[in-house]
Amino acid sequence: MGRSPLLPAWALCLALGLLPAESFVLQLELDCPLSAAGRSLGASWTVAFNKMPVVCYDYPAGQFVPCGLGYFPGWDQVASYLAEELSQAFPDWDRTTQDLCRSQTRSLWASTGGRHTPPNIRLFPIAPENTPAPVMLACEVWGFYPAEVTVTWLRNGAFVKNNSGTAVVSNGDWTYQARLSLPVYPQSGEKYTCRVDHASLPRPLTKDWEPGLTLQLKVKVGVSSAVLGLGLLILVVGIVRWSKQAPKGYVPIDGTDYPPAGS
């Protein structure tokens, strides 16, 4: 989880005195792996020289041991000596690191892992796969925490028995996403509903889908039809007005071009 100056000053000075007198950075690192519920699973403590491990704490064995760079000649003797000194000086280091991990992660877990984040939901058709059904509906749920979520399909208010499995995937930012698909044979009057149950929700979250055009598409079609009708009306009025106008340069003359009858 982070780095912390865990050893007394004499141990740090001991490590500095044993390592070669050159430019270097000595790091003391404590990693605290956690379970999904925030419980500490142990601790991994490391002395690193220029980001390369030299001495590590073997948590199952309960002692300090050479690791990484500490296995190589020239470093192995230094690492072995330092590991032995630390093991004798801190026989209960496993309990100490557990306490340190709990104290460091308690506040962090309360603001991250211990929170409840409600999901978002959207429903849309996708290309059918491995099914003769003409339509495949996908219910996508994302941005929720914790990972435990239940996604189900309903048809006209009744649960659909052949729900496919829900795969939950981590987003890498302490939130998760899931998708549940359903092949359907749409009929007029039917309504399909995706229902999401999650610990962050006071009541289930639902999203409906009905065969036919969506409300957005209906609005777009209506607007397009109105614009097309108005355009046709303007075109007809223009043609009528143009047809009534005399040709340019033509001046009508009184009388007729035809001779009187019987002449």
Per-residue 3-state assignment (H helix, E strand, C coil) for 230-262? HHHHHHHHHHHHHHHCCCCCCCCCCCCCCCCCC
Is 126 domain-assigned? Answer: yes
For residue 247, pLDDT beyond 70: no
Is 93 domain-assigned? Answer: yes
Q: Which tokens go with 213?
A: 């055009």
What average pLDDT is seen over the chain?
Answer: 77
Residue 206, pLDDT score: 95
| Nearest by Cα to 206 from 134, 121, 146, 101 | 121
- Are residues 57 and 7 located together in one domain of the fold? yes
Residue 81, pLDDT score: 86
- Are residues 107 and 143 located together in one domain of the fold? no
| Nearest by Cα to 160 from 134, 187, 132, 191 | 191
Lowest mean pLDDT among 32-36, 138-142, 232-236, 240-244: 32-36
CA distance 115 to 146: 8
Is 237 domain-assigned? Answer: no
For residue 261, pLDDT beyond 50: yes
- Are residues 45 and 63 located together in one domain of the fold? yes
Residue 168 vs residue 41, higher pLDDT: 168
Q: Which of 209, 233, 257 is the last residue of a domain?
A: 209
- Are residues 7 and 102 located together in one domain of the fold? yes
Total domains, the chain = 2
Residue 141, pLDDT score: 96
Is 157 domain-assigned? Answer: yes
- Are residues 85 and 161 located together in one domain of the fold? no
Is 241 domain-assigned? Answer: no
Instruction: State the pLDDT confidence band at 221, using cuts at 50, 70 and 90.
Output: low
- Are residues 194 and 177 located together in one domain of the fold? yes
For residue 246, pLDDT beyond 60: no
Instruction: State the pLDDT confidence band at 192, using cuts at 50, 70 and 90.
Output: very high
For residue 256, pLDDT beyond 80: no
Express the helix, strand and coil content of the chain in percent, nearest 5 each: 30, 30, 40
Residue 88, pLDDT score: 84
Residue 207, pLDDT score: 94
Q: Which domain holds residue 155?
A: 120-209
Q: How many CB atoms lie within 10 A of CB 50?
A: 13
Residue 197's identity, in one-letter code, is: D
Which alpha helices (H) appear in 8-92, and where do they start and end?
A: 9-18, 76-89
Asked whether 22 and 54 are in contact (CB, 8 A), the reply is: no
For residue 204, pLDDT beyond 90: yes
- Are residues 10 and 104 located together in one domain of the fold? yes
Residue 3, pLDDT score: 38
Residue 9, pLDDT score: 40
Lowest mean pLDDT among 27-36, 52-61, 122-131, 185-194: 27-36
166 in helix, strand or coil? coil
- Are residues 104 and 138 located together in one domain of the fold? no
- Are residues 40 and 104 located together in one domain of the fold? yes
- Are residues 20 and 101 located together in one domain of the fold? yes
The model carries a pTM of 0.45
Residue 226, pLDDT score: 79
DSSP, res 74: T
Residue 36, pLDDT score: 60
CA distance 85 to 148: 46
CA distance 151 to 167: 10
- Are residues 66 and 138 located together in one domain of the fold? no
Lowest mean pLDDT among 14-23, 70-79, 168-177: 14-23
Is 250 domain-assigned? Answer: no
